[in-house]
Amino acid sequence: MKVTTHSVVSIHYTLTDNNGSVLDSSAGRQPLTYLQGVGQLIPGMEEGLEGKSAGEKLSLKISPEKGYGIKDEKLVQQVPMSAFGGQEVKAGMQFEAGNDQQRYIVTITNVENETVTVDGNHPLAGVELNFDVELLSVRAATPDEIAHGHVHGEGGHQH
């Protein structure tokens, strides 16, 4: 069976940047199992796996546009240290921000005197991604999985 919309796909992967640094990997963990075509993976990954079969190994190079997007400089802001209520803050820390309608994660990228620079972009925004992927299995999703929009059972959600 080939990977198509509403296939349940299990993969092992290693994600590296263009310098060869490993950013993420499923090595030593359970494989990633997902429902194809419902937005559970970045667009470039789903597009790269479409039409492939269990047992295939492939390398995918994914542009920022098909990954986590282009870095938006409007999401980088400087805020006063006082906005953190006296809490110790350091570069690399992440926290949730937003309002009742929308919540998002921001990363502290710099702390200088009484000014903190925060970045609301995904940490991999603007980064070309390189995936080495091994397709372990592909099966048709059940009607319940399609209706719920996620995988049930092993590697998926338990109801």
- Looking at the predicted structure, is the pLDDT value of residue 17 above 60? yes
Q: Which residue ranges make up each domain of the chain?
A: 7-68+125-148, 73-119
Question: 7-68+125-148: which CATH architecture?
Answer: Roll (3.10)
For 88-125, the pLDDT digits (tens) are 899 999 988 878 888 888 999 999 989 999 999 999 99
The fold for domain 73-119 equals Thrombin, subunit H (2.40.10)
Burial of 7 (0-12, 13-18, 19+ CB in 10 A): buried
pTM: 0.81
Q: What's 124's DSSP letter?
A: T
Q: Check residue 156 and give its pLDDT.
A: 58
Q: Check residue 102 and give its pLDDT.
A: 83
| 39's tokens | 């937005």
Q: Quote the CA–CA distance of 32 and 51 in Å, as a whole number.
A: 18
How confident is residue 155, by pLDDT bands cut at 50, 70 and 90? low
